[in-house]
Copies of this chain bind each other. A is one copy, B any other.
């Protein structure tokens, strides 16, 4: 998927919502749990109920791998079921030395037909390059994540090369360096919504790249702040919600309830896109 296609979809749907399919078999409605294709049946219902109000689906590979072969099969079925208009993200957090990253890129961009994959930056340039070599595919590199552990390394301060004193944070260096390895047409960054005001500084470093933003609650103000500080002229945001949407109800009405929540996100987003 090209950037133009993504931006057009955002404008048409007045939405920059990404629905996260973190499909935990123990959390789906009881009546589905014994179904032979439980995960896929659940995902199918969620996709059918939300596809006109979201622009992207994000499959969290961990929940599928935990089920072994059956899980991998459900992931294949799901990615094939998502309409082509949606950006299909493998939230896989992969990354390894060059020849191994090439195999991961093949796994998610060729064997499975994803449009995008999340990648961890720790191992540096040759761990990220193989993903960037694919045309019309997206590499989404971890910048500043929304979990508590982001303090442990991402938010450590590096020595400035000029002064030998305190310079930028590690995650800022990651954004700066990695953005030079790709461009706004093939590279996005994961930026957690924990401190939405920090987005201003992040936008100084990477004004043009799309950001994939997890950890955003609706009606809690954070979607407002993320949109205010993170949006650029092409929108430049994909805001992800997973459990809040897909597990909105534990009952047979789960898909309808998922739509209700997704609709609340989308309504609010439409206002910020004006």
Contacts and interface: CB of A to CB of B under 8 A. Distances in A.
Contact of A159 (B76, B110, B165): B165
B62 A121 contact: no
A153 B122 contact: yes
A69 B62 contact: no
Interface string A80-114: 00000000000101111110110110111011100
A158 interface: yes
Contacts of A115: none
Interface in A122-154: 122-128, 142, 145-154
Interface string A219-262: 00000000000000000000000000000000000000000000
A35 interface: no
Given A62-B103, A157-B158, 20 more contacts: A62-B101, A65-B103, A66-B110, A67-B107, A93-B94, A93-B95, A95-B120, A123-B145, A123-B149, A123-B154, A124-B150, A125-B149, A125-B152, A126-B148, A127-B147, A153-B177, A156-B173, A159-B159, A159-B165, A165-B165
A213 to B, nearest CB: 14
State how many copies of this chain the complex holds: 2
Contacts of A34: none
A93 B97 CA distance: 10
Contacts of A73: 69
B122 A154 contact: yes
Interface of A: 22, 24, 60, 62-63, 65-69, 71-73, 76, 91, 93-98, 100-101, 103-104, 106-108, 110-112, 120-128, 142, 145-154, 156-159, 164-167, 170, 173-174, 177
Residue among A103, A121, A123, A173 with most chain B CB within 10 A: A123
Contact of A104 (B62, B166, B173): B62
B150 A62 contact: no
A145 B24 CA distance: 33
